[in-house]
Structure 1
Amino acid sequence: MSSTASRPATRTRKKKKDELSTDLYEQPGHLIRRAHQIAVSMFHTVLGPDITPVQYGAMRILQDHPDIDQVTLARYCALDNSTTATLAVRLEEKGWIERITPPEDKRVRLLRLSETGASLLESLVPSVHELHKRMMQTLSEDEQETFLALLAKFVHINNEKSRAPLRRGDPD
């Protein structure tokens, strides 16, 4: 695919070294949004339409941290509480997680993978590896390492600016 097919033609003028571009296709926010669109599309191409990237991420967290509450899951996934509540209902409806009310606190719902959910995650491992390979295959090994390092740095440095900052580790 030529560069004109992947990027709409725009008028360009030579800019000074310290001048920021106003070209939409050079804006970090636009590029990040496009990268997200591409990543989600690739996810569904490889893993199919039955599970979303957010559902997969939540289930991976529950695999590593069984019996956490919805608020903790929200923090670990960097989602707001209402989105996580809806997500938990959908995952339970699909039979992929169980929501348990502990006898000592009827207000809390603890989440864990169901046997079906655990089996599903196990079956997705080869597809997840294939997805990673496809996403990164157009970059050299050095570019892959640099890309992931810069992306992780950007996310880490700007975490607190998010509507739902990521909170990893023990909730206490």
Structure 2
Amino acid sequence: MSVFQERMKELGLTMTSVQFAAMYAVKANPGIDQARLAGVIAYDRATIGGVIDRLESKGLVERRVCDHDRRARIVSLTSEGDALLDKLVPLVRDFQDDILSGLSDVERAEFLRLATKAADAGNDLSRAPLILDKKA
């Protein structure tokens, strides 16, 4: 089991890292539609609906039809989702330290720099590339 899922289980939550990323991206991008959300978190557009379905069934997000494109669904956090995310963000930041516990501060910075470089370089090759331009 991943560190993320272990910690969520300890908190009594059934939250996946993808669900957390989706909620975080929704909060950071008010008015985002479901298709753009998939790109922002580099997740497959064909399966993001299932992620949103599960979050919606937990009462954490809601969807509505986009005013200017009836095919698009706008995703937003509910008040419960917003409150939960506010509680989880500092906890997730704290256990990131556990994930990198074997590294010194200098090594962590270098690891994160290299991981970012590798991810950016491979982004275009991904079947679900991260959308780096917020206007996309």
TM over 0.5: yes
Deviation at 1:108, TM superposition (A): 1.8
Conserved 8 A contact 1:70-1:110: yes
Aligned AA (2:129): P
Alignment length (residue pairs): 133
Q: Distance in 2 between matches of 1:105 and 1:152?
A: 34
Higher alpha-carbon deviation: 71-80 or 97-106: 97-106
Q: Distance in 2 between matches of 1:149 and 1:166?
A: 17
Matches within 5 A, 1:42-121: 42-48=3-9, 49-121=13-85
- Percent identical among aligned pairs is 35
Q: Distance in 1 between matches of 2:95 and 2:83?
A: 19
Call closer, same or farther: CA 1:125–1:170 in 2, change over 3 Å.
Answer: closer
Q: Extract unaligned runs of 5+ from structure 2.
A: none
Q: Extract unaligned runs of 5+ from structure 1.
A: 1-39
TM-score, structure 1 normalization: 0.72
TM-score, structure 2 normalization: 0.90
1:116-166 residue CA offsets vs partner (Å, 9 max, x unmatched): 110110111232122111112210111101111111000001111111111
> CA RMSD of the aligned region, Å?
1.5
Deviation at 1:44, TM superposition (A): 1.4
The one of the two structures with greater contact order (alpha-carbon pairs below 8 A, sep at least 6) is: 2
Call closer, same or farther: CA 1:102–1:163 in 2, change over 3 Å.
Answer: closer
Deviation at 1:103, TM superposition (A): 4.3
